[in-house]
Structure 1
Amino acid sequence: MEVSPLNINRGPLLVFSGQSNIPLAQEICQHLGIPLGRSETVKFTNDNIIVQYEESLREGDVFIVQSFSTPVSDAIMELMLLIDAAKSASAGRVTAVIPYYSYARSDKKDAPRISIAGRLVADLLQEAGADRILTMTLHSSQVHGFFKVPVDHLSSDRILGEHFQRVVPHAHEGVVLAPDAGSIKRAAAIAHRLNSGLAFIDKQRTSDTTVDPRALIGDVQGKNVFIVDDEISTAGSLVEAVNFAKRMGAKDVYVAVTHGVYTGPAVERIRALDAVQVASTNTVLVPESKIEGSGGKMHVLSVAQLFADAIRNIHTGESVSTLFE
């Protein structure tokens, strides 16, 4: 009997999805050549959630796709219920696939009497029964340490770099700009892929709530500038970075981030932004209405193939890190 390449080391590969990003889960399954697993989630009038699988999971290698996007608390609760239900249904292994782990921003105690929510959510997922975590572009790599189970941390650097090369002729003549010192490592990796220049904005805190740009380290005068970051939320920091780059003599500005959260006034700010385009990946589901509201500036890049490859390698016991070599 011929053995399927997706059924080598353990039970059958099964991929399910919570409600937060079903289109991404469906696209992942298309690349894997398997159907998306059948499950049902019901939210009662008292806000309680119930989940139920509609097929057998016994001894299966189960992957559950769920981004922590709005409403975040519902997404986390649904994922924990799906994990718990899978373990109760005798799944062989359960991997939580979290394309966007929003609580990664809460990674340290930087104020008195607060919770390190990134660690708390990690504890909850493990207590629910997650055997493994697959995620992308955590705000801080130290979030790895919050988990006692294996974590595979994917990077969107290749996808963002290839996007710049597609939309900008001679991208290697441009400059990748990190909007702050914390983004330098990511910007440097993409600059290396493009064989381009590198710059970053040095900021100083002027109050408890305000951080202003102080200097631009690097040369952007007359050059195309590629701003990269982990996510866009309200787009306030993005507006600041783009405006500062233009004041420093940048030619055209292109933006690409991993997580396009786009909350509050983000769409209106992007529409008025002095940038050619703003791209994000589909780790977060971006409604078509927001894309249209940006005046054609917002674009969505797919990471489904990368997640599919990672899931395949995890299932067959191959290295995930080889995907980035």
Structure 2
Amino acid sequence: MSLFHSVSSTSSFTSLRSFPIHSFPRTSLQNAVVRCKVIEPLKFQNGKPSQSELLLNGGGGSIPSFLMPPNARVKDLVNGNDTRLRIFSGTANLSLAQEIACYMGLELGKIKIKRFADGEIYVQLQESVRGCDVFLVQPTCPPANENLMELLIMIDACRRASAKNITAVIPYFGYARADRKTQGRESIAAKLVANLITEAGANRVLACDLHSGQSMGYFDIPVDHVYGQPVILDYLASKTICSDDLVVVSPDVGGVARARSFAKKLSDAPLAIVDKRRQGHNVAEVMNLIGDVKGKVAVMVDDMIDTAGTIAKGAALLHQEGAREVYACSTHAVFSPPAIERLSSGLFQEVIITNTIPVAEQNYFPQLTVLSVANLLGETVWRVHDDCSGGIEPYSSLGID
């Protein structure tokens, strides 16, 4: 029998699979779980989502009633009475930025981004941001250097246009793995990138699932650290899970704290740890397993999947140790080759990721499930903009540091 079974329509949770942007009402978030509303079940072949109808930039339609948050401030924004909040997007993940804006009942700001013949990046804001609270949505996903430089130039353009506050919304923070010196004469690139963002003119950073918590200390400006874990937990909680058959697995010793937190919120499931010895970058060798997974359904939890070497070898070990099924859960889907071959090889019952990084069309496969963090980031943007005023819930209800 499969681990997950459909629940009745009266359940407080709703299953999400690569949904269109109009699936996000702005709702109150409680108990570190994001409630998401989907009009009808969404099923796609090979994990590929359908094209969404974007109600942005004069898309030819009004905002549906279920999208309108029950708050007067959004009505003022939609009616143009309050122009203090502006959201702009780079080219790295335009679809996520559109989902965030639609969740908030706003339109993305007009911005011109182009490349010169020699590859240099040109950015020009197409509307005034003087005295505004500006949020720039741009993950530094592959190509990391291009997207990082684009973010820096966007920040500089906003600063020179006299924006009051500039918040860099970075769903995926690249270079985060270079956060310490493990050998002599190594660069700590995470600190360098933090310095670049600060010097460019950002007043605040909003990041999702940093590779390690100490990366927040590299910034000399406030950092709001949002966890994608509630979105994945919401998806898992929408299914009936037999806690006696469940075990949460950390793919390495460094991810034990993350896996323990995940297990505690998932019916306080038992924990297992894969003892991994890394011989080089993107090269992992699994040694042994700490914990019992025989006859159980294993849920592997990690912050990112790059080449999938670590999580694939861990899954193979779990099957050798008698695990009945293996699920992979990760916030960031980098998916560098040969990740797709490893993930779709039959080791995993399901691979659950979020859309902090856009998934290329050729990288969809049948076991893939894509969840959206748009409502989580959108709610955080509201709270940053409001300085937690207006009687809304504290940051702790969102799982934000």
TM-score (norm: length of structure 2): 0.76
The 2-side partners of 1:6 and 1:133 are apart by 27
Task: Tell me how far 1:216 sits from its aligned partner.
Answer: 1.7
State the one-letter code of the partner of 2:274.
I
The residue that corresponds to 1:243 in the other structure is: 316
| 3-state DSSP of counterpart to 1:79 | helix
Task: Tell me how far 1:11 sits from its aligned partner.
Answer: 6.3
**Residues 6 and 12, structure 1, Cα contact 8 Å, conserved in 2:** no
Which of 352, 363, 366 is equivalent to 1:279?
352
Change (3 A) 1:299 1:3: closer
| 3-state DSSP of counterpart to 1:104 | coil
The residue that corresponds to 1:324 in the other structure is: 399
Which of 168, 174, 177 is equivalent to 1:105?
177
Change (3 A) 1:191 1:97: same
Task: Tell me how far 1:199 sits from its aligned partner.
Answer: 1.1
The residue that corresponds to 1:224 in the other structure is: 297
The residue that corresponds to 1:234 in the other structure is: 307
Matched, 1:269 2:269: no
Query: RMSD in angstroms over aligned alpha carbons?
Result: 2.0
Task: Tell me how far 1:163 sits from its aligned partner.
Answer: 2.1
Which of 328, 332, 343 is equivalent to 1:255?
328
Task: Tell me how far 1:175 sits from its aligned partner.
Answer: 0.6
The 2-side partners of 1:167 and 1:215 are apart by 31
CA offsets 1:113-151 (integer angstroms, 9 cap, x no match): 222110001000000000000001111111111101000
| 3-state DSSP of counterpart to 2:225 | strand
The 1-side partners of 2:280 and 2:250 are apart by 22
More helix by share: 1
State the one-letter code of the partner of 1:320.
Y
Task: Tell me how far 1:211 sits from its aligned partner.
Answer: 4.6
Task: Tell me how far 1:172 sits from its aligned partner.
Answer: 6.3
Aligned residues: 319
**Residues 245 and 295, structure 2, Cα contact 8 Å, conserved in 1:** no
The residue that corresponds to 2:98 in the other structure is: 26
The residue that corresponds to 2:73 in the other structure is: 4
**Residues 173 and 197, structure 1, Cα contact 8 Å, conserved in 2:** no
TM-score (norm: length of structure 1): 0.93
**Which blocks of at least 5 consecutive residues in structure 1 are unaligned?**
none
**Residues 68 and 98, structure 1, Cα contact 8 Å, conserved in 2:** yes
Matched, 1:302 2:302: no
The 1-side partners of 2:290 and 2:76 are apart by 51
Deviates more, 1:124-133 or 1:315-324: 315-324
**Residues 171 and 208, structure 2, Cα contact 8 Å, conserved in 1:** yes
Task: Tell me how far 1:197 sits from its aligned partner.
Answer: 1.7
Which of 362, 372, 385 is equivalent to 1:315?
385
Where in structure 1 do 4 or more consecutive aligned residues deviate above 6 Å? none
Change (3 A) 1:322 1:49: same
**Residues 281 and 303, structure 1, Cα contact 8 Å, conserved in 2:** yes
CA offsets 1:180-239 (integer angstroms, 9 cap, x no match): 11111111111111112211112345x566653333222211111100101001111111
| 3-state DSSP of counterpart to 1:120 | helix
Deviates more, 1:34-43 or 1:314-323: 314-323
**Residues 64 and 97, structure 1, Cα contact 8 Å, conserved in 2:** yes
Identity %: 39
**Which blocks of at least 5 consecutive residues in structure 2 are unaligned?**
1-70, 389-393
| 3-state DSSP of counterpart to 2:176 | helix
> Pairwise mapping of residues 118-137 of structure 1 onto structure 2 (< 5 A)?
118-137=190-209
